[in-house]
Structure formats: C-alpha cells, structure tokens
Amino acid sequence: VTEENKPGSIVLAAIDASPHSLAALDSAARLASRLHAELRGMYVEDIDLVRIAELPFARAITSLGQSQRLTPEMMLRQLNRHAALARSAVQASGTRGNLSWSFSVVRGSVLREIAEAASSADLVAIGRRGWSDSTAKQLGSVARALINSGTSSVLMVAEGGVRDPLAVIYDGSASSDRALALAAVLDGNGSTARTIFAIGTAAAERLKSAGIPEQAHVTTVDSQALLSRIQRSGVRTLVVPSTSLAEFRDSLALLEQKNLSIFLVK
Amino acid sequence: MPELDSEKLYTVCDPSSLDFETTAEISDAPEVIGQPRAVEALAFGVELQGDDYNIFALGPEGVGRRFLVEHYLQNAARTRPKPADICYIYNPTDPNKPRLLTLPGGVATGLKQDVLRLIEDIAVAIARAFESEEYQSRLHDLEGEFQARPARHFEELRESAKSQGIAALQTPMGVAFAPLKGDEVLAVEEFQKLDAGQRERITAIIEQLQEQLQKILRQVGRWQKELQEKIRSLNNEVASFAIGPLIDEVDSKYVEYSAVQNYLSSIKSDIVEHPKEFLQLHEGHPAGQSMLTSVADRLSTRRYGINVLVDNGGLSGAPVIYENHPTYENLVGRIEHIAQMGTLITDFNLIRAGALHRANGGFLVLDARKVLQMPFAWESLKRALESRRLRVESMGQAMSLVSTVSLEPEPLPLSVKVVLIGDPELYYLLCRFDPEFGGLFKVSADFDDQTERSPDNQLKFGRLIASLARKHRLRVLNRAAVARLIEHSSRLAGDAQRLDLSVGDLSDLIRESNYEADKTKSLMITEAEVQRAIDGRTFRADRIRERMRDAILRNTILMDTDGQATGQVNGLSVLQLGRFAFGQPVRITARVRPGKGEIIDIEREVELGGPLHSKGVLILSAFLGARYSSDFALALTATLVFEQSYSGVEGDSASSTELYALLSAISGVPIRQSLAVTGSVNQYGQVQAIGGVNEKIEGFFDICAKRGLTGSQGVLIPAANVKHLMVRRDVVQAVRSGAFHVYSVETIDQGIEFLTGIPHGARDASGSYPQGTIGALVQHRLREMAEKQVAFAKALQADAERGPS
C-alpha cells in the first residue's frame, strides 16, 4: 500500500510556538519531506487577545493565581515573540529537510484563519493544544474544530512528538487504505505500521487480500472493544481514518485523556 | 694462690641425669620454662576483672614472651563466653551515622544471607504488586479524580462566565476575562460606547470571575498535595501488603533477638515509606559501574544489607588476637572509599574491622615497639581503652584535620584485655614519660632471661628442647646432644649455675644442628652435630677475632706471653660484635715519676675511656694513697695506657690489672708476662667480679696456644667469677694436662705476689712493710719521691729568698 504523491501537495503547520505545536511542526516537516510536499508555516495573532489587552480593566490571572495587568504593548510584544519563534522554527525545519517552505503571520480569529488555510492544504499539523493550562489534557479548541470540519487530514501532535508505538485503525474504507499508507510514511523507523486494528472480520479479510505489510501485527477487534485495546496496548500515536471517526467519536473524550498523537486521515 | 682444676672450669651436664634416651620419648612438653613471676602476673592480669588491668609483658627478646602470653591467654579464653558478632546497618534517619548491630556469636552471617534473599524477594513482590491491574486501576482512578476536579471547576467557571457574556481566554500571560460580542471579544471602542452602568456591571462580573479563578488556582496546589498523599497511602498499603509476609517469615526465624526484629522493622517501614525508590535502588547500580557485577553491588543491598565486621561463629570461646602490623587503621578499623566518577564515596558497607573489633570480648596481643612506631596507633589504643568505646574514624577525622562529611559509625562498647609485649627499657620509659600508661597497664609480667640450673630445670630444659625440635619438625636429639645444649645454654648465660632462657636462640641452634645432621645423613642429632653447629656459628662470626689474633701473633700488636717486664701487664678485654663476643688480650703499661700525686689515665685524657673505666682508675690513686703513703704526701705522677688500643675502653674490669702495672712500675719489680689478669678492684684492694670471664680466658689461651703452650701460662680471674666458668673444651683439656692454668684471686696482695714472685707483705703497727716485700719497695719509692719533692720545694724557696743574683 503506497501513498502516491500528488504534485503541489501542501502540508500546513499551524504554530503558536507552544511545545505541542513545535512538535507538530517537526512531524509536518518530516511528512512534507517524504511526500515531497511544500511546508507552509502559519502563525495566527489571535484577535481576541489583542482586543482583551486593549480593554481598560484587562488583567490576566497567572497559573500561580497572581493577577497581572495587561496592556496592548505587552500583548503585542508576546505575540511578536511567539511569531518570531515560530518563524525561526519553520525556517530551521525547512532548511534541514531541504523543503520548499513558507511562513506567514496573520491576525484574526484563530479558528477561522486556520480553517481557511486548511481548505487549501492536503494535511494540517497542529499541536493537540496551544498555550492552555498544562494541567488540562483535553484536545484544544482548534484541534476540536478541525476534526469537526473534516476538510483535510489533521495530525494532532502531543508534547514530545509522534512517538512509538504506533497503531492504525483499519475499517476497509479507502480512507483507511490511505491511513495505512500515511502511517508508513509517518513511522520514522520503517515502511509499515506496527499494529493494525482491523474493525470487524470483513475489514480483516480485505486487509489480508490486499496484502498485509510484513512487519505489521494485525488484531481484529469489534468497535466496542477498540478503545480498551488501544489503551492496553500503550499506543502513543494513533492513525485514524475519518470514516472510523463516527464509530467512536463518543469515545474520543476518553482518548483525549491520554497524551496521544492522533492522525486523522481524510 | 689457688689454681683451679679443670672441673671448676666447665660444669658438665651428665647425660645420664636426663630421664630419656632421645627426645622422641618426650610426648608433650611446655615450650617455656622458668618464668614463674611472669606466669603469676599473667594469671593475675587475666583473672582480675577490670578494664584498666591490661598487661605489659616485659622481657628480653627471644625468651618466649609471645608464646607464653598467647598460650596462657588461649587457655583462659577457652572457658570464656563467645563474644557477639559485630555488624553495621543502614540508619534511615541519618545515613551518615550507621547503626551498630551486635548479635550472639555466629548469628550475623546467617542473618546477612537471609536479608540478601529477603531483599531480592521484596523487589520481586513490590514490582509485581505495583504492576498489578488492581494497583494500576486504583492509581488511575486517583489521578483521574484529581485531574477531573480542576478541569471541572475551570469548565464551570467558563460556563458561568459565558452565561454572563464573558469569555475566559488563555493569553501568554495567563487567563484573562473579557466581554463577548457573539463569539468574539468586544472591541475597546464598542466597550467605550456602552453606558457607564453596563461598563461597571461588566467590570464587576470580571473582577468576581477573576477572584473565583484565583480561588480555584489556590486550591489546585492543595488538591495536588491531597493526590500525592493518597498515592503515597496507596503505595504504602500495597507495599506493606506485598512485603509484610516476607519480612514476617525472616522475623519468625530470629524471634529471640530483639535487635534483629528492630532492624527488620526499620527495613520494613523504610521500604513501605519509599517502595518506588526501593525498586529504583534495586534496579540501579553504583554510578561508574557499567553493569551489575553481583547481588552485593545492588544499591538496595548496599542500603538494606548487613555489613558483618566480625563473625565470631567459628570461635569456641573468647578470641585471642595477635596483630602483627598494628597501624592506626589495623587497630581501630577503617572506612574505605570507592572511586566513582572521580569522587570518593563511602557508606556503612565499607566500614572494616580493626584488631580491637576482632578481639572485643577477649584478648589482644600487640608488640609494644611496633605500636609505638606506628603514627597515632598508641594514642588511639589508649583512647579506646580509656573511653571503653571503639570509634571507627579516619586518621584525619580523629585528628580533626578534615571537615568533609564522612561516616560516623555508632561506637562499639569495648571490653578487651590488651597484652603488650616489649623489652624492659620500653616499659620503664613508658612508666616514666607517659602519664596514662600506668593507669591503663597495671600489670607487668616480668620475664627473666635466666633461670637456675637445677637438676629439675635441666630436665625441663631437655623437655623444652624436645618440644622445639618437634615444633620445627626436626630430627630427634639423643640425650648427649641435649646435655651439650644445656651446657651451651649455661655458657650463653655466662654462668655455670644458670640457664639462658632465650628460646629463640636455642631453637635456632637446634635447627642448625639438624642442618649438620642433614649433611652427615645422621638419623638423629648427637652431641657431635650440636658441637659442629656451635663451632660453625663461631666460625661464621669470628673474622674480626681472627684478624686481631693474627695481629698479635705477627707482633703487629705487641704482646708477650713469656718472660718478665716492669710496669707491664697482660690485661683482658671483651669485644662484642653483634651477637658474637670474644676475648682480646691487651697490654697495659704504667710509668711513674715524681709529681703532684695524680694518676693520669691516658685513655681518659684522649676521651677514649668511658666513665666506668675512669672510676676504676680514680680508685687506684685512693688505694695507693691510703695503703702506702698514709704519713706523707703522694708525690708521684703515674700514667696508665692500654697499649695499641685505638678505640674506646669501658668498664672497670682492668682496674686490678692497671694496679698491678702501677705497683710494678713504682717498685721496679718485673711482672711475669706469661700470665694475663682480669678483675676490678676496690679501695681496699679486694678483687671483684667482672663480666665475660669465659671469653677473656679463651682470648689469652688462643694466643698462647698458637705460640705454643709452655706450661707456665695462665690467667688470674677474680674468685667471685669461678662460678661463671664455662670455658671451651680445649681450654679445659689444656688445664687438665697442666699446659695452661687458671687462678682465682681475692686480693691485690695475692695477685702481685703471684705475678712478681715476691710477697707483698703486711703493714706493721708503724705502717711499714717488711723489708724486701713489694709493699716495702712501693712505700720506699713513694717516700723517696715525696722527700725529693720536699727538698726540691725547699731549694726553690731558698732561691726565692736570696733574690735574683
């Protein structure tokens, strides 16, 4: 199973300079390199943050519970600093991977700007969450919005990056074929996914007839048992075809508890 | 003049007086004899309970001090209880101060093995418990509960804010609240357009939300702490459940030892408190070591294991320890270090026992000189004995020279009896200069270097010889050989009535005799082998003696052995070179002239004479004045010389010889040169005992024998020395055949009469001596010199009165 390279493919990395987003950039650059795609870096200056800082009573409560006065200058300084960090990270990744790369800074609604940029990209890589409270482990609002929009493949990278062990969910759809192929691309150590969870015997049969990758370990599961199997296997990166998303969308809330990188393949 | 017959010159040991034919018949025998005083002192010191009743065994080298001490102590130790094993263990409350663990003798090593197994078992049990589904599930629940709590509160706050038209946004600086317009934050221009009431309301809501957020954040820390407490409590519960039965099993084995139970209890509580750390320790290994080499290297073993310093399991009574190399560390123990990543580290496992640890509850035998030679060893020994506590610390710590953090092991209560072995000089020096010595070493076991040569002691000596031969796996000795060794022992003692107790020397001679028997393939050691061994010893040592004897025989050193000469006497000296002593004849001459009444000892004038020699010479002038010039001034100047003596002269044994030379020089009567003389003299003219009489006789005999014995040659010795005679057999033989003579002398009068052939004479009531006697000749000559001096003085005075011509 291979992923054919479409000429002029675009991998978009939406970066807010948080550790998650920098890890996402790293994976995006690797994918762009293997897919011979263009790497587009993007930083959105959140218009809401700019507006908050302009309000006369604007204060921020730090993670230590201290109240800090906010000013427009202070906010712009922080946003500029993050933008500069993001730019240099994209530049470094592009240069290192010998990629065609670009970087842009836009101001506006984060959701809207990324969604708009995503519409022209084949793959979007984002951090699982941005500069949110580190004690929370839920998916960030942008990630959540991209999953729901379903316009392109989305790679949501947890802190620490895409890590082994890696697993792919296979439901027999064309989308899951692509997921299998992209998993091989994503897996830095080999051309095959480590574990393939085939949902139902039909999918397992199809997988068998299509030719199972040599080093892959195929486990046939029903969708009810899928979540607990994934949890027990200690998977750190999960490649999910968008067709399967509906099957355990309810269960995603549980998956969100884990420090798991998720690659949703359209 | 009493001439001594040959029997007096050598007291033979009759082999038939010994109750055996060969030493093979003697089954078990002591190796030391004739030390009743030392044995009594040892018994006293050992039996008297008291920490300060330590013993100093003083005596000359080679008399069997160490053997007797150890032999006695081992017998005493057998009836005493086996002391405790000494161990050090980890101190959870202060790892730098390891705890002392003492256990009944022989228990420690078994416990150590049990604990090693226990640690391995605990590691498996804990790992299993913490990997279990049950534990993981409970932990997951706890963590989930904690994570959900703040998230729930934040979400509630967010919802509350949203319901009031306020957004909670994460900014790079923290969470900020702002009024919403639709899904977006209200721009400042639009906010300004609101009426004052709305603005105030929004501001108030936001302030309230901020306070609520701060309250939540403050609680997060507490929740985190609560979570940690709950996890710790869960870990403790799981660990306790997992290891409890394992520890109880070992505990039940040592139920009678409360110290072990306390130790196991401390292990349990420490591991239960820190089960994860235990696993990390168990799987880790000391930094710098690339791989685990043994179970003992595990960090868990290093922390919870037992360092057995002293295992007394093999003892059947109290220990008797001899420390051959009593350095500071070998006495009090040491703390070793391991180099890791360029740093020296240590822990309680690296505490090592010293001799005092091993001897605790028993006896420690040390060589006093060695202890005193080793830096700080003596001080540390005294400190331990005084404080009755044994503290293991580095020399730097003990001297307060270093202040780096190191171990301070709990001190060991010390109960040991120390026996120091040393020579008497050392003992007296310590008594004199070390104020603490007397208080700590209250018992002196004084070893004698000689014992009486009684028939009983001769028998014991024979048994001792048998014992030594067996100890060194030598041939048996027949009784003639034993008798010869007894005689030689008397010779070494320099006394026919005593035996030398130098067991070491005796042992050497037996081995050398065995060597001679080897050469002749003799089945047993006989008198001939012993004699060859003695002769061999003499030959190996007598190069200088032979050289000096040659010098006399070749007339390089002038020495007459016949004829007569005035003012010239053959004296006898003894030279000691290492362990070999030999007699050396020396010519002593005297010259007299009128003078101020002084006797000039030329040896002293050139600082070749020692103080004892000078004392002897000064006695002479007292003797002369009192004896011969009681009614006129002693107006002579006499000079005395040891001719051709180029090294120092010490001792007063030549004082009688010098007096004979002086009397001859004053009287002008010649002295027989075929005789040699020894003996000191007192102010009354009595001849007194001297040392080395045997060597002196042999020294003159050897010269005469080489030149050819004439039958008139002989030696005059003090009568008090007759009992010391054990001269060589060739001398005895010559005396027996009349070729050589030994005379005993009691007074100077006797001696001068024999040397000159003229009686000395006795003073009459007027103080004069009979005509023609030595006394009269001496007195006459002295008077003549005194009168000449008076006449000379008068002439000088008359000249002075006449004035210058």
Q: Which residue spans within B113-244 are E strands per DSSP?
A: 166-171, 174-181, 184-185
* B266 has catalytic annotation: no
With CB atoms and an 8 Å threshold, state whether B170 touches A130: yes
Complex-level ipTM beyond the 0.85 threshold: no
* Cα gap B268→A180, rounded to integer Å: 52
Residue-level pLDDT at B584: 93
Q: Which residue spans within B351-455 are E strands per DSSP?
A: 351-352, 363-367, 389-390, 412-413, 417-422, 443-446, 450-452
With CB atoms and an 8 Å threshold, state whether B176 touches A78: no
Per-chain mean pLDDT for chain B: 90
**Which residue has 């065609």 as its token pair?**
A100
**Which residue has 């762009």 as its token pair?**
A32
pLDDT-derived band of residue B802, with 50, 70 and 90 as boundaries?
confident
pLDDT digits (tens, 9 = 90+) for B59-97: 998 888 998 899 899 999 999 999 999 999 999 889 899
Count CB atoms within 10 A of the CB of residue A50: 18
Say if CB B462 and CB B507 are below 8 A apart.
Answer: no
Smallest Cα distance from A51 to chain B, Å = 5
Residue B663, judged by CB atoms within 10 A of its CB (0-12, 13-18, 19+), counts as: buried
pLDDT higher than 80, residue B783: yes
A264: β partners: A154, A240
- Residue type at B206? I
The reply to whether A116 touches chain B by the CB within 8 Å rule is no
Rounded mean pLDDT, B710-714: 96
With CB atoms and an 8 Å threshold, state whether B173 touches A68: yes
pLDDT-derived band of residue B596, with 50, 70 and 90 as boundaries?
confident
Residue-level pLDDT at A77: 93
For B214, name the nearest residue in chain A, comparing CA atoms only: A65
pLDDT digits (tens, 9 = 90+) for A128-185: 765 554 444 455 667 777 777 777 888 888 777 787 788 888 888 888 888 888 887 7
Residue-level pLDDT at A207: 82
Q: In chain A, what percentage of residues exceed pLDDT 70?
A: 81
Rounded mean pLDDT, A13-24: 86
With CB atoms and an 8 Å threshold, state whether B185 touches A47: yes
* Cα gap B726→B693, rounded to integer Å: 9
Q: Considering only residues A133 and A194, tell me which one the structure prediction assigns the higher pLDDT.
A: A194
Radius of gyration of chain A (CA): 19
Locate B292 and state its tokens. Answer: 């685990």
Residue-level pLDDT at A191: 46
Helices (H), B542-581: 543-553
User: Which among A55, A62, A135 has CB closest to B174?
Assistant: A62
Say if CB A114 and CB A44 are below 8 A apart.
Answer: yes
Say if CB B367 and CB B422 are below 8 A apart.
Answer: yes
Lowest model confidence (mean pLDDT) among B514-523, B590-599, B698-707: B590-599
Give the list of residues 6+ apart from residue A145 with CB closer than 8 angstroms, or none. Answer: A111, A114, A115
Angle in degrees, CA A105, A111, A113, rounded to 5: 35
- Residue type at B782? L
The reply to whether A209 touches chain B by the CB within 8 Å rule is no
Locate B109 and state its tokens. Answer: 């090593």
Q: Which residue from B317, B321, B345, B344 is spatially nearest to B333, judged by alpha carbons? A: B321
B177: β partners: B168
B150: chain A residues, CB-CB within 8 Å: 135-136
Locate B195 and state its tokens. Answer: 């009426």
**Which residue has 């003389």 as its token pair?**
B677
Q: Which residue from A168, A137, A154, A178 is spatially nearest to A4, judged by alpha carbons? A: A178
Rounded mean pLDDT, B564-579: 93
A67: chain B residues, CB-CB within 8 Å: 210, 214
- DSSP annotation string for B752-766: HHHHHSS------TT
- Residue type at B602? I
With CB atoms and an 8 Å threshold, state whether A55 touches B173: no
Helices (H), B258-415: 258-273, 275-283, 299-304, 328-332, 355-359, 368-373, 377-387, 395-398
Q: Which residue from A26, A40, A42, A38 is spatially nearest to A186, judged by alpha carbons? A: A26
* B6 has catalytic annotation: no
B680: β partners: B688
Angle in degrees, CA B680, B682, B683, rounded to 5: 145
Taking chain B, what is the end-to-end CA distance rounded to the nearest angstrom? 61
Residue-level pLDDT at B293: 52
* Cα gap B611→A19, rounded to integer Å: 99
pLDDT digits (tens, 9 = 90+) for B742-769: 999 999 999 999 999 999 999 998 889 9
Rounded mean pLDDT, A236-254: 68
pLDDT digits (tens, 9 = 90+) for B107-159: 999 999 999 999 989 989 998 998 888 888 888 888 888 878 888 888 889 88
Q: Which residue from A218, A131, A137 is spatially nearest to A170, judged by alpha carbons? A: A218
Say if CB A50 and CB A79 are below 8 A apart.
Answer: yes
Count CB atoms within 10 A of the CB of residue B729: 13
pLDDT higher than 90, residue A215: no
Q: Write out the residues of chain B at the interface with chain A, using a CB-CB cutoff of 8 A.
A: 144, 147, 150-151, 154, 167, 169-179, 183-188, 191, 203, 206-207, 210, 213-214, 217-218, 220
Residue-level pLDDT at A133: 44
With CB atoms and an 8 Å threshold, state whether B170 touches A131: yes
- Residue type at B730? D
pLDDT digits (tens, 9 = 90+) for B385-406: 999 999 998 877 777 666 676 7
pLDDT-derived band of residue A254, with 50, 70 and 90 as boundaries?
very low
Say if CB A227 and CB A248 are below 8 A apart.
Answer: yes
Question: The pTM is what?
Answer: 0.69
User: Which among B151, B187, B210 has CB closest to A61?
Assistant: B210
* Cα gap A27→B508, rounded to integer Å: 90
**C-alpha distance from residue B236 to each of B118, B270, B271, B552 (Å):** 18, 10, 9, 99
A79: chain B residues, CB-CB within 8 Å: 172
pLDDT higher than 50, residue B193: yes
The reply to whether A70 touches chain B by the CB within 8 Å rule is yes
Smallest Cα distance from B159 to chain A, Å = 15
Q: Considering only residues B458 and A133, tell me which one the structure prediction assigns the higher pLDDT.
A: B458
- Residues counted in chain B: 805
Interface test with B, best of A44, A46, A55, A75 (most B CBs within 10 A): A55
* Cα gap B187→B10, rounded to integer Å: 136
A68: chain B residues, CB-CB within 8 Å: 173-174
User: Which among A60, A135, A137 has CB closest to B175?
Assistant: A60
B204: chain A residues, CB-CB within 8 Å: none
A131: chain B residues, CB-CB within 8 Å: 170-172
User: Which among B147, B179, B185 has CB closest to A135?
Assistant: B147
User: Which among A58, A82, A137 has CB closest to B172?
Assistant: A82
Smallest Cα distance from B251 to chain A, Å = 39
Q: Which residue from B653, B664, B805, B782 is spatially nearest to B715, judged by alpha carbons? A: B653
Secondary-structure breakdown of chain A: helix, strand, coil percentages, each rounded to the nearest 5: 45, 25, 35
For B224, name the nearest residue in chain A, comparing CA atoms only: A135
User: Which among A109, A130, A136 has CB closest to B184?
Assistant: A109
* Cα gap A26→A125, rounded to integer Å: 9
